[in-house]
Structure 1
Amino acid sequence: MVNCCGLVSEKNEPVPLKSISVELQVQDHVASVRSCLQYVNEEERPLEAVFVFPLPADAAVCHFSARIGEQEIRAELQDRQSARDQYDDAVSSGQQAFLLEESEESSDVFRLSVGCLSPGQNASITIVYIIELSVQADHALRFCLPAVLNPRYTPAAAGVVPEVSSASVIPYTLSLSVEVRSSDRISRFESSCTLDPLEFLDAQHTHATVNLSAGHRFDKDVELFLYYENSHQPSAVVEAAASAAQSGSLMGDPALMISLYPEFPADVMSSLASQGEFIFVVDRSGSMDCQMHHGNDAQMRIESARDTLLLLLKSLPMGCYFNIYGFGSHFESFFPSVTRSIASLDYILIPWMGSGVFLILTLIFSQLFVFTDGEVWNIKEVLDLVKSQVYSHRCFSFGIGEGASTALITGMAREGSGHAQFITGTDRMQPKVMQSLRFALQPAVDNISVDWTVPEGVTVDMLSPPINTLFQGQRALIYAQIKGQSSGKKEGAVTVKYRLKDQPVTNQLQFTLKPTEDTGLTIHRLAARSVIRSLELEERAGGADAENIRRRIVELSVQAGVSSAHTAFIGVNKDRKQTVKGPLLQRRVPVPGKLCVCVCVCLFPFSVCHSLNDYFLACSLESSNMMMIECDAASYEAEPQKDPLLQLVSLQKASGCWELNASLAAVFGKTEDEVTNRKAVDGSVWATVLALIWLYAFKSDQQDEWQFVAMKAASWIRSQKPDGLSQCVCDGNVLLGCQVTEDMLGI
């Protein structure tokens, strides 16, 4: 595949893009991002260039302008085809023109066409977009500035988006400044990159600024993590209408944003489901043979996914069913057939690549875990299918490494009422995946309703789609439009009701109907974006009303000034002095040929039944602790697990116990004789007690990873009702040099 980075010359060398400057303004849970890109034509002839680049999923582009010398060209948002025609006409007549449009297949990929730059001429492109900040498992708000665009797995009939490869060879620089304003105190600010110290601008610590340290090379995604002190406190924010907009329109009325981020009681969270159906879908494409990060001790992505899958299987409750699917140039399930005990499974397959790749997306009443480091080209088709099955499954998605598609990862989780996680840099995959498993096993909020209390003459129209489920660690933003006028009362209230494990919960929030200051239009535009995305989904579903829906999308997109699948930004420099003479040199990112994918299949040498009540891990996982990885034309054995925690997990039986043997003793740093000679109870009970003591004593900082493994082990011990258990724990502490109590072990 051609390695290309942004705009390239005939010699496949980056040419026009020289620097990127980003200003990030955060208001509570949303952000406005202003990016300025500096281009220069270093050719000896006039240049037309095309740059394909990523933006975060669900980003709403609301401004696009270009500056040539001292002249600024502010682009207008128009119907896509009309904008394309205007761009082509301008370029063919020698006028400078700029066209910015969203990919037809993926909402996180944009295409910028720069037309008719004279030799040696500079152009400064400014793009502004707004976005909701996602919530992480530790309650942080995450913003990501993606550095790379991974290759698309493309159906044969579709166009191919070029690859923007690793930014390590990109010659342009990046500067980034951040300003945060919040109604809640700012606790701290972290990043995957080096930052200057956080500077607070008020005594309440609700206003702060921070900058990316000088000298940063844009060789990886820039991730920012913002922490508030009272992250679970619900909030309601009203934004004033646009002064020039017509009253009664979305932009002409005040807009309301509700943030709902419930914190569930500990006793509810401890009541985990004991049964379920789980499907694990693992990317096996060639890119999964890349390292997780650039450090010396970095695992391969496929190895980390393999280790995580092992931990997941060991952590599932006894009453669960599971299957494993791999996808690369084709898909393959670990189990070729379905037993009668889970005959209710209904497989739904969709095309993934023109060469025959398929991905199993969902089952009836299942939990779907998807692991990938890239994405597919037909993202919108995938998300539509996930959305259509939302009442029969939940989808948990994991983006591995730099450049994993935000549109695919967050989109599948959003449409599948699940949760999205990104594993980048030196992040460990296991704790993030286990956090999602906790979500999958915990009860979710349902029967969500929203009621409004407003004065006479005022109404509230919901702009967000209904919320079907909500669970611990997931926040929902609800947008609404406030219509009408009230001569008296200036306050309103919203009451959010839901049920959690059959218990009713009520939250009531007060808000003002008249904002006292101009707060910008970020909430209005995000609300418009929410409506547009719902209309696009409705349009793709088909039907006789598709043309009217498309017309409504264009109308709302132009009115709100936010991008959509059917609109584009077009700017033309009509200054006659700037007309370009001579033949136009085209510079487009080369379209790669057919993807050459090395398909790696993780072959677990289990002898296994579908029910976890029946399955057991046979020879290689329980004895030699080896796994086979089979490629297209060769096979080899991966090295044994070196992580003692994963070694211990791999030795656990499906029932939750461990057997007393040399492999287990080696995890403890003992010989088999040392362990065997000290046993005072049944061998399996003794071995399981030792394993639990070791976990609590030596791996307490990784408890999120082994919590379910330990719960299953403790449950098994209690079911055995052994005599002399207290003495057994004492002997285990002596052998391992620990001080762990029975209460800590849960036995």
Structure 2
Amino acid sequence: MADSPHGLASQDANGSTVFQPLKSVAVRATVIDTSAHVIVTQTFQNTSASEARYIFPTPANAAVCAFRMQTSGGRAVHARVKELERAKEDFESALAQDKWAGLLQEVAADAFVMSVGAIPRGEDVSFVITYVQELPQDESVKQIRFTFPTFVAERYGPLPAPLQGASSQSERATLSIVVDARMTSPIERIHSPTHSIVTTYATPNVPSLSAIVTLDNTARPPSRKDFVLSIQADAVASSRCVAEVDERRQSVALSLTLVPNLAQVAIPAQEYIFLLDRSGSMQEDDRIDFAKAALQIFMRSLPAENTRFNVVGFGSHSVPMWASSRPYTPATLDYATVQVDAMEADMGGTEIQAALQDAISSRSGGMPTSIFVLTDGKIWHTNRVLSFLHRHVSAAGSASAIRVFTLGVGDGASTELCEGLARVGNGICFMASFSEDIAGRCASLLKAARVLPSGNLHNLSIEWGHGHVHPSSLLQTGRDIVSPDVQQTPSSIPDLYPDTRIVLSAILSQTTAIPPTVTLRGLAPDDRPTNMTFPVQDVTQERDRLLHVLAARRLITELDDGILSAFDSSDPVAHARDAKAAIVRLSEEYQLASRYAAFVAVDETDAGSTATSEESPVKEEKDGHEAGSDSELEDDSSSEASYKTAESSPREDEEEDEHPQGLSNGANGAANGRRTSETTSSTTPPAHQSEGVGPPTRVPSSSPPVAYALSHSRRRTALGAAGEGAIMFIANSFVLLVQYL
């Protein structure tokens, strides 16, 4: 797949595959604190195709919440989420009537396939996908990591049926990326380890709360390399809780960010097993050497006493260094060092489930085990591996507990597998590109593995201030699936680790009352109760679905993992059936793509009409603030289909502006209903130097709604208030992002 031509893949009259070239990919991301709202516009040149398919990547934790098709002639169609088989039927029915239609379907948590039929001939076509996500922690707890995956690499295992004949992103397409970063404390550093960037700060030469990042158009962008951006700010490392009210649903969504300062209690004795991916894909870009360097760091940093360790190389089969773990001594370390140096990526496929089975079965027993997986994660059907691991982790017990820590290696690595292994394995995950320092990530992973999870606390729970927390997102009453009073995700508090940020969500049903506080409860070693209470900040706005959407996405992920226990686990068939029904209900209610629900778009207008779907029921849903309605920012992005590079193609009307639209400049920017920017000189950077090649350039205007600028002005004013300034700024930051949806 990776070596084939690229574009919309279609079949000609002779049955040969024809590719309609991908012309451009425009990415417009808004980063607010630890969340991101991303709009991706992919434009294809259509010369002859009538039906075609295309595969593209997303981050595994992304909630894909909008899909729109549009032509260069002005026709636009918005999609709705329906149960997968119904969506397919609607799509096929539209094709039979020669109606322009699209189907956006999840084939993996980090890969989607788009099928399009009756494509208007002679017009370029654009597909606009919108998603929101919680951004993962980068190397430090003060850093967030924004990644835009640029291609779907070849993966091991049977190809999912929807991918037969699909193509991936073109290396020849024009890529433009604009990231609007807005933090709740001064930005200390912005840098990209993968691409040359230009950073324009809102307040040059002094600490700034916001910045615009674009690709440097003087540098040739690397091919087949994911775009990674790291942003550092103190407030990212702070615990906080925010909430929003949905009047229509009569519900409240809460998001609790925890960065706990817990006692670090070393595990007295532990076994460490390292799984090194030696499959053929690890030959690409010398991934195996990168992984081996990380493994050497791990091995040389293990505790000197009461430690056992082993190394398992895996590909189509597994090869352990020893039949069972050996004591950690200078002699065994020297032997392992020599053996690891000689390892090559020469073991064929990626049978990671068998490797995990071998590692678990070879444990010495009587002590906890930490399994470290170093892989590019390139497999299909990840859910089978995660289900297998979840069963074994759950059955291990506390005395012989199993935890899994992952290091994702290289560009195109599967976040679905790497993050999933850590999620169900009660560990943490770091992704690493080849241009990043691997030592810090190894140190963080090993630091977490060496201490008791959650410090010396146990029996952790959260009191959300509303009813009973049920261990599932849904309850079964007869043949009906209903929501409990409190839907919490993760349903069980995950292990807490030093210098690690986690986010927990809850949806409170049948209420619009926001609790004043939420409380994390636990027991100390002597079983004394201990509590941590967090004030709740209301971030509700008219379009109030951001926190609901993110919470629903996490609930779907838990159902996919098989972790939630709402249904009768004694009947696996019934359990799977009911979990599927629950996923469909959440997907349709919150308009989220999932394994069992897809976006379907059908053009019901005449071919010569330029009417958009705003004349269709979609607009009626928007007026009612239906979940999944298209956002103001998503609607505004329609112009992005035409621009090629964010840096070199400012709009003509921008030249007439005294202040180009960019970053807000206080009340002046708000009064004009637009943002103003100040660029830093390459010779006089601010104290937090922008990183990249070449001088800063003007950011193209994007005509944000007036509410955008007004909200930003309120945020800056709130900073000057005494006492509650930081809390108000956090609140208004979420308000800003909510308004986009």
Q: Which residue of 2 aligns with 1:632?
A: none
Q: 554, 565, 571: which one pairs with 1:530?
A: 554
User: Deviation at 1:486?
Assistant: 8.3
Q: Which residue of 2 aligns with 1:733?
A: none
CA gap of 1:124–1:479, structure 2 versus 1, over 3 A, is same
For 1:676-691, what aligned pairs fall within 5 Å after superposition? Answer: none
Q: 313, 316, 326: which one pairs with 1:329?
A: 316
| SS of aligned partner of 2:3 | coil
Q: 291, 298, 303: which one pairs with 1:305?
A: 291
Does the Cα contact within 8 Å between 1:152 and 1:160 map onto a contact in 2? no
For 1:357-368, what aligned pairs fall within 5 Å after superposition? Answer: 358-361=354-357, 363=360, 365-368=368-371
Between the aligned partners of 1:213 and 1:499, the Cα distance in structure 2 is 52
> Of the two structures, which has the highest relative contact order with CA contacts closer than 8 Å and spacing of 6 or more?
2
Q: Which residue of 1 aligns with 2:415?
A: 406
Deviation readout 1:281-331 (Å, 9 max, x if unpaired): 11112222233xxxxxxxx32223333323322332232122211112222
| SS of aligned partner of 1:398 | strand
Q: Which residue of 2 aligns with 1:198?
A: 200
Residue type at the aligned position of 2:21: P
Does the Cα contact within 8 Å between 1:156 and 1:354 map onto a contact in 2? no
CA gap of 1:201–1:554, structure 2 versus 1, over 3 A, is farther
Q: Which residue of 2 aligns with 1:126?
A: 128
For 1:229-240, what aligned pairs fall within 5 Å after superposition? Answer: 229-240=234-245
Between the aligned partners of 1:538 and 1:324, the Cα distance in structure 2 is 29
Deviation readout 1:240-281 (Å, 9 max, x if unpaired): 31x5x332xxxxx221111001234xxx54x54342111111
User: Deviation at 1:519?
Assistant: 6.1
Q: Which residue of 2 aligns with 1:97?
A: 101
CA gap of 1:6–1:497, structure 2 versus 1, over 3 A, is farther
| SS of aligned partner of 1:198 | strand
Q: Which moved more, 1:137-146 or 1:498-507?
A: 498-507
Between the aligned partners of 1:500 and 1:301, the Cα distance in structure 2 is 44
User: Deviation at 1:163?
Assistant: 9.1
Q: Which residue of 2 aligns with 1:214?
A: 217
CA gap of 1:530–1:443, structure 2 versus 1, over 3 A, is same
| SS of aligned partner of 2:493 | coil
Q: Which residue of 2 aligns with 1:416?
A: 425
Q: 597, 609, 612: which one pairs with 1:567?
A: 597
Between the aligned partners of 1:34 and 1:469, the Cα distance in structure 2 is 33
User: Deviation at 1:41?
Assistant: 1.2
User: Deviation at 1:527?
Assistant: 0.7
Between the aligned partners of 1:87 and 1:461, the Cα distance in structure 2 is 33
* RMSD of aligned residue pairs (Cα, Å): 3.5
Does the Cα contact within 8 Å between 1:240 and 1:519 map onto a contact in 2? no
Residue type at the aligned position of 1:93: Q
Q: Which residue of 1 aligns with 2:727?
A: none
Deviation readout 1:57-88 (Å, 9 max, x if unpaired): 12111000111221210111111111112212
For 1:338-353, what aligned pairs fall within 5 Å after superposition? Answer: none
What TM-score results when the alignment is normalised by the length of structure 2?
0.66
Long gaps (5+) in structure 2: 329-347, 395-400, 468-483, 610-741
Residue type at the aligned position of 1:254: V
Query: Does 2:496 align with 1:470?
Result: yes
CA gap of 1:89–1:471, structure 2 versus 1, over 3 A, is same
Q: Which residue of 2 aligns with 1:553?
A: 583
Between the aligned partners of 2:83 and 2:540, the Cα distance in structure 1 is 35
CA gap of 1:571–1:505, structure 2 versus 1, over 3 A, is same
Q: Which residue of 2 aligns with 1:273?
A: 267
Does the Cα contact within 8 Å between 1:67 and 1:125 map onto a contact in 2? yes
Residue type at the aligned position of 2:429: A
Q: 142, 145, 148: which one pairs with 1:145?
A: 148
CA gap of 1:229–1:339, structure 2 versus 1, over 3 A, is closer
CA gap of 1:354–1:144, structure 2 versus 1, over 3 A, is closer
Between the aligned partners of 1:258 and 1:356, the Cα distance in structure 2 is 33
Does the Cα contact within 8 Å between 1:331 and 1:357 map onto a contact in 2? no
Q: Which residue of 2 aligns with 1:495?
A: 519
User: Deviation at 1:500?
Assistant: 7.5
Does the Cα contact within 8 Å between 1:148 and 1:221 map onto a contact in 2? yes
Q: Which residue of 2 aligns with 1:508?
A: 533
Does the Cα contact within 8 Å between 1:136 and 1:473 map onto a contact in 2? no
User: Deviation at 1:340?
Assistant: 12
Deviation readout 1:531-579 (Å, 9 max, x if unpaired): 2222333499734243333223212211111111110001112234369
Does the Cα contact within 8 Å between 1:528 and 1:556 map onto a contact in 2? yes
Between the aligned partners of 2:326 and 2:515, the Cα distance in structure 1 is 59
Q: Which residue of 1 aligns with 2:674?
A: none
Q: Which moved more, 1:69-78 or 1:546-555?
A: 546-555
User: Deviation at 1:142?
Assistant: 0.7
Deviation readout 1:579-629 (Å, 9 max, x if unpaired): 9xxxxxxxxxxxxxxxxxxxxxxxxxxxxxxxxxxxxxxxxxxxxxxxxxx
Residue type at the aligned position of 1:197: T
Q: Which residue of 2 aligns with 1:648?
A: none
Residue type at the aligned position of 1:536: D
Between the aligned partners of 2:327 and 2:540, the Cα distance in structure 1 is 64
CA gap of 1:334–1:12, structure 2 versus 1, over 3 A, is farther
User: Deviation at 1:522?
Assistant: 1.5
CA gap of 1:160–1:283, structure 2 versus 1, over 3 A, is farther
For 1:310-321, what aligned pairs fall within 5 Å after superposition? Answer: 310-317=296-303, 318-321=305-308
| SS of aligned partner of 1:386 | helix
Between the aligned partners of 2:235 and 2:306, the Cα distance in structure 1 is 37
CA gap of 1:114–1:218, structure 2 versus 1, over 3 A, is farther
Does the Cα contact within 8 Å between 2:183 and 2:209 map onto a contact in 1? yes
Q: Which moved more, 1:47-56 or 1:495-504?
A: 495-504
Deviation readout 1:630-661 (Å, 9 max, x if unpaired): xxxxxxxxxxxxxxxxxxxxxxxxxxxxxxxx
Query: Does 2:37 align with 1:32?
Result: yes
Does the Cα contact within 8 Å between 2:424 and 2:561 map onto a contact in 1? no
Identity, % of aligned pairs?
28
| SS of aligned partner of 2:20 | coil
Residue type at the aligned position of 2:8: L
| SS of aligned partner of 2:146 | strand
Query: Does 2:71 align with 1:84?
Result: no
Does the Cα contact within 8 Å between 2:308 and 2:326 map onto a contact in 1? no
Residue type at the aligned position of 1:100: L
Deviation readout 1:440-493 (Å, 9 max, x if unpaired): 1123204322124579xx976534411131101322211122455689xx7611
Query: Does 2:462 align with 1:450?
Result: yes
Residue type at the aligned position of 2:115: S
CA gap of 1:200–1:138, structure 2 versus 1, over 3 A, is same
| SS of aligned partner of 2:232 | strand
Deviation readout 1:9-54 (Å, 9 max, x if unpaired): 7887853311111111122221111111111212xx3432111111
Q: Which has the larger radius of gyration?
A: 1
Q: 253, 256, 262: which one pairs with 1:255?
A: 253
Between the aligned partners of 2:508 and 2:157, the Cα distance in structure 1 is 43
User: Deviation at 1:526?
Assistant: 0.7
